[in-house]
Chains A and B, each alone.
Chain A
């Protein structure tokens, strides 16, 4: 069942020549987590705020559970949409205790009900014993969980999370996101999760939507986005690709490291680029090889080598963590990937 339907959403801010959100459409099924990912200023937060009712779209429509909540002629205010939101700065009410923060959205229920629901929700995020504390007495991770509990307690149709982990330390972030994802899945919540971190997006999203300059570049399963990037931007943003220049010839693509046997989907002699990630490339030591090692970055579980082809083209390659070669060594780089590579016209 479709929970959210976004149709041709456009938003332009005063004094800006470019649209913050430019003709975005997507749907969200019940119980699904969609990660909205893109660099800062790509329009992901604006999209989220329009769904929440905190911004009005210039054109387009938003439907929640089949009901039109925003269009040029309709605007249902945020308090009537039944959407829960987790803010980047958590936005906990500093004058209320943890319990009262979580109970804030439960108005209209009986005292007993409020106590049960807020208690259960706090228990779920593991903070029941913190009920009487004030937000400033909590750590960043605890505040994050209170913010989540507060958004989830009223059982919203849709939960919106705006870079919820960005204020946490890197090591905490990984632990918290695992916890948060399991809570969201237990609650069977329908979620839109905004992040600029591709790693976080791949982890959190059942599906990913990649945005750039207000446009939706691609939407799909994490694997699909990663392996079958629709645009050069998606390939570059999701997984630090290098782009190897080439030309379409009969039987494949001619590049600086030889012929790549793959149907390019372009007519012969088209100038193209192949997107290559570090795990797609390998090399052998060869005094007459096609490239030189210009850098090695030890990453613990593996080595990341930076290679410069004689044409000046830079490629990266992952190798075994025990394989250590000095910078300046001449090597023969080749493509080890057995899956088809993404090809873009240039």
Chain B
């Protein structure tokens, strides 16, 4: 990763050794088929179908124009809506997870642990429930937010906060507190230490948490459907709308772009695992 240069962001030394190779003998082919079957069923088949359908869409001018001119806005705006709402949710979730994680990891006591657990409740709640309660809440207390895309972003943050909190907590756990203490003895206040030592060192973990929030927000359908203002279509919403009407070919390009957009943070997540080798 270029951004990181030669700097290392972890101190943990691992005693990891590759597992010894086991020869499967006559089980080689069945084992391969099993693994290959899972990959085919879960990835190659759906992605392949989408790709074929997308190509068909592009070859058929009528469907093509339907893709680009459905609703009040064009195709580009669905993509953009998806990206910015999920991206903003990721940034907010990570920013909010940091103080929670700092408290829970550096000052562990029943109260800080309770806060950390509380932030993870969103995971257990269905998106619809969060969306419904937000509708009521915003209507009563924050009417100026009602029917803006920001309610959607708030729902994403609430729903996917646990991923950010967990990523931040595990990144912090790997960071020896002595680094922060060293910074204090070298003249930095606790706030300066957070910005000059803690955050730079747990940045890969924060980015990983952000990627996860981004990824799951991209796919979030129920909360988006319930909370979006009129005309605020995201890729997931569009795919759902087209598919519900039976226009599978029209839905295919949007679904395919959704997969591409998810692949980017996923690539980063997988790369991160290699950096630490």
Interchain nearest-CB distance for B101 vs A (Å): 19
Is A328 part of the contact surface with B, judged by Cβ < 8 Å?
no
User: B189's closest neighbor in chain A, by CB?
Assistant: A79
Whether A95 touches B9, Cβ cut-off 8 Å, given contacts A87-B178, A89-B176, is yes
Per the 8 Å Cβ criterion, residues 160-196 of B in contact with A are 176, 178-179, 181-190
Whether A85 touches B7, Cβ cut-off 8 Å, given contacts A93-B197, A95-B200, is no
Is A57 part of the contact surface with B, judged by Cβ < 8 Å?
no
Judging by beta carbons under 8 Å apart, are A94 and B8 in contact?
A: yes
Interchain nearest-CB distance for B94 vs A (Å): 19
Interchain nearest-CB distance for B235 vs A (Å): 36
Interface size on B, residues (CB 8 A): 22
Per the 8 Å Cβ criterion, residues 6-43 of B in contact with A are 6-11
Which single member of A81, A93, A134 contacts B6 (CB below 8 Å)?
A: A134
Interface range on chain A (Cβ under 8 Å from partner) = 20 to 34
Tally of contacts, chain A with chain B, CB under 8 A: 74
Chain B residues with CB under 8 A of A285: none
Is A323 part of the contact surface with B, judged by Cβ < 8 Å?
no
Interchain nearest-CB distance for B189 vs A (Å): 6
Interchain nearest-CB distance for B176 vs A (Å): 6
Q: In the bound complex, how far is the Cα of B8 from the Cα of A137, in angstroms?
A: 10
Judging by beta carbons under 8 Å apart, are A89 and B178 in contact?
A: yes
Q: Using an 8 Å CB-CB cutoff, how does the interface string of B122-139 with A read, 1 for contact, 0 for none?
A: 000000000000000000
Chain A residues with CB under 8 A of B184: 53-54, 77-79
Q: In the bound complex, how far is the Cα of B190 from the Cα of A224, in angstroms?
A: 42
User: A153's closest neighbor in chain B, by CB?
Assistant: B186
Is A164 part of the contact surface with B, judged by Cβ < 8 Å?
no
Judging by beta carbons under 8 Å apart, are A134 and B7 in contact?
A: yes
Whether A78 touches B7, Cβ cut-off 8 Å, given contacts A91-B176, A91-B178, is no
Judging by beta carbons under 8 Å apart, are B9 and A94 in contact?
A: yes
Is B50 part of the contact surface with A, judged by Cβ < 8 Å?
no
Whether A91 touches B182, Cβ cut-off 8 Å, given contacts A77-B189, A107-B187, is yes
Q: Give me 16 A-to-B residue pairs in the complex whose CB atoms sit less than 8 angstroms apart, sorted by A's number.
A: A52-B185, A54-B185, A77-B189, A78-B181, A79-B186, A79-B187, A79-B188, A83-B185, A85-B181, A89-B176, A93-B179, A94-B11, A95-B8, A135-B8, A137-B6, A150-B186
User: Which residues of B are in contact with A by a Cβ distance under 8 Å?
Assistant: 6-11, 176, 178-179, 181-190, 197, 200-201
